[in-house]
Structure 1
């Protein structure tokens, strides 16, 4: 019988991103407004409407895996394991001294091994229909593999699964991790998300749905959330990993507590396959749910890392939802860091949760770059942090993520107090 829910804290983080492949490098580049967007190098874009993306730079799988092991993993799984390695080290986890039966893994990805799938289908077509597939095709491709591989690597026998809710996937993974720890189903959970979808099929598919920016003449300014001239999102890739644990477990092992997770919210737009509700109904409900669960007043939120992908309708409806949830409050800082990292799809919630946690830790709001003129009717309603990061006391931060299909996932982080 459950008498009291466990408090959940963050004790470790790791990252692979377009602007840094470890937490110190990533945060340095975030606060220095580094832009991760550039022409695509992974394939020939001559015939594509969009020719740029936010690719991970200087990632070498051999820095993390032996050759025989590396061939078993799609790039999205490689990113997941690399980010987790840093998070485990950052959390100072000594698995030999812990009950591994009570340590779980919950991981999110919207696309899974889409590179592997594309490569294998192309090879099949070249073979005139002869079925010659890589024996690792299926485990490299399916989206649940990172959670399984992480558990195998560290011998973790607790709960283990993956979440898929498009661009809300990793935030949903974090929410599930929080809830299972609260219920005592696990003491520690490694959670987060990864994505490696910069290839012909993804860029072509998103182009076909008119979701991507086509500012090929100026790719570094293409991601401009909330700006009146925005024309679509910029695809990114990478992974974010968080170590979550019960407060009791963290204190018992003398862990350094980085932040506390105090609220989670989930909802659905119930409106359209790819479009957001015109009035941001799901976004509003998700934020309201998270605030109510955290048992706080909306006025106590200091910073929102907005989903804000730089799409015309998506950005506008999120602003409508924020105004409905928080009213007009000039002290509420809002920024959209996808302007630097691009949109990491299923991994977005994880790396933007990390940004929220680092913002709290450092009392610094990262900037939205590229944005010059805020959506009409909203520029004077909130503290949009544009161009340069801003020092500000941040005790509580909220992270929004929304996915195709109308999936809504919101998390609330707080500065840890004894």
Structure 2
């Protein structure tokens, strides 16, 4: 079993268009949730989101590429370029055959769906662009990423709702650990902030109209976000030989299914996923200093997750720090675990714990240290990153400080 390390990271989200800007926002406790700037906003009941502002695709891609790239693919490519550049890897030679890609997205090309439904139903046209299908398919970003970097190993996409990117990164981790690949490009992306994407989520009646306040007694729902985060996972010995900068080590992964309800989370399923990640990493409860929570800001998630943490960590739960950065960048659905992994890396590498912002009043059913409102300096050697999705699909990653 090989050791797996992270040697590159990239992102674009509501807080910043890169990793340094995102980490600065985490340290400052800055909220990127703003009024939406989209078509037909006045027809929406929910008019806020973690939207990527100042996004100019014409500055990143040529006209032929934009015809093929939905927004979620554009976000993926930008984040991947940052991650690969930081890693220093070049895939033009034999390494391209020994490298793979696993990405997560819940819905793929939602903007493309939305635009073309308008074309057919609202404008009454009988034809759409011939590249609509390859533009909207969930695997489009992974395919374009393989072509951009000459990646010829296993390339695929995982779609498990809000756990998509954690499942993707877990698969990438296992493939490097088992020796199937020497490196993997992995992470997740989502771009659902268009009229149809938001209208669909409105129907669930779990959305907040004003803010995301995880674990606070005054919370009133989740807030959607958009963006991507991509990482390079690499065989530790290869990274050490070439003197690569190591951001963190991935040491464990577990996934479970609640098998109970399509939208209501289960404490048992979440508990088994966290306990499984600890076992896979060979860690005990006392080893973990921080958990990046799923923390959506809904009563169902927050109470269930806190109960699961208490169940797994027992007496150790009182000293744990647990925070939800969704309060700052919104819930990126299939891409959310990838952006949240940046907070885990920051905790391990920089000794800074990202806060849960918008916290107003303690909830007796969430009586944990949720790092309210202000980032905290703290030395931690191991962390967990939680993702608990609709459908009862759970995925938890365990990381350690870089060796």
Whether these two folds match at TM > 0.5 is yes
* Alignment deviations for residues 260-316 of structure 1 (CA, whole Å, 9 cap, x no partner): 001101001111111212xx1111010011000001101110000100100111111
Residue 332 of structure 1 is matched in structure 2 by: 320
| Structure 1 pair 28–126 and aligned structure 2 pair: CA distance change class (3 A) | same
Checking the alignment, whether the CA contact within 8 Å between 2:303 and 2:366 is kept in structure 1 is no
Q: 1:99: which partner in 2?
A: 95
Partner of residue 364, structure 2: 376
Match in the other structure for 1:201: 196
Aligned pairs, how many? Answer: 402
Aligned pair 1:239/2:228, yes or no? yes
Of stretches 157-166 and 97-106 in structure 1, the one that deviates more from structure 2 is: 97-106
Alignment partner of 1:99: what SS?
Answer: helix
Q: Does 1:50 align with 2:49?
A: no
- The root-mean-square deviation of aligned C-alpha atoms, in Å, is 1.2
1:121 alignment partner in structure 2: 117
Give the C-alpha shift of residue 330 in structure 1: 2.7
1:402 corresponds to: 388
Query: Which residue number in structure 1 is paired with residue 169 of structure 2?
Result: 174
Contact (CA 8 Å) 2:102, 2:185: kept in 1 or not?
yes
Say which structure is richer in helix: 2
Q: Any conservation in 2 of the 1:19–1:57 contact (CA below 8 Å)?
A: no
Equivalent of 2:283 in 293, 296, 299? 296
Report the counterpart of residue 303 of structure 2 in structure 1: 316
User: How far does residue 148 in structure 1 lie from its aligned partner after superposition?
Assistant: 0.8
CA distance in 2: counterparts of 1:32 and 1:80, whole angstroms: 25
* Correspondent of 2:58 among 40, 62, 68: 62
Q: Does 1:7 align with 2:15?
A: no
Q: 2:375 aligns with which of 389, 397, 407?
A: 389
Name the counterpart of 1:192: 187
Structure 1, unmatched stretches of 5+, are 216-221
How far apart, CA to CA, are the structure 2 residues paired with 1:261 and 1:20?
Answer: 25
CA shift for structure 1 position 97? 5.4
**Paired residue for 1:353?**
341
Shift of 1:98: 5.1
Q: Residues 176, 232 of structure 1: CA spacing in aligned structure 2 closer, same or farther, 3 A cutoff?
A: same
Q: 1:165: which partner in 2?
A: 160
Where 1:179 maps in the other structure, the secondary structure is helix
- Give the aligned partner of residue 412 of structure 1: 398
Q: Structure 1-normalised TM-score?
A: 0.94
C-alpha displacement at 1:252, in angstroms?
A: 2.5
Aligned to 1:309, the other structure's residue is in SS state coil
Structure 2 matches for 1:5-84, cutoff 5 A? Answer: 5-84=1-80
Q: Of 328, 336, 341, which residue of structure 1 is paired with 2:329?
A: 341
The 2-side partners of 1:96 and 1:207 are apart by: 45
Is it true that 1:286 corresponds to 2:273 in the alignment?
yes
**Paired residue secondary structure (1:71):** helix
Match of 2:292 among 288, 294, 305: 305
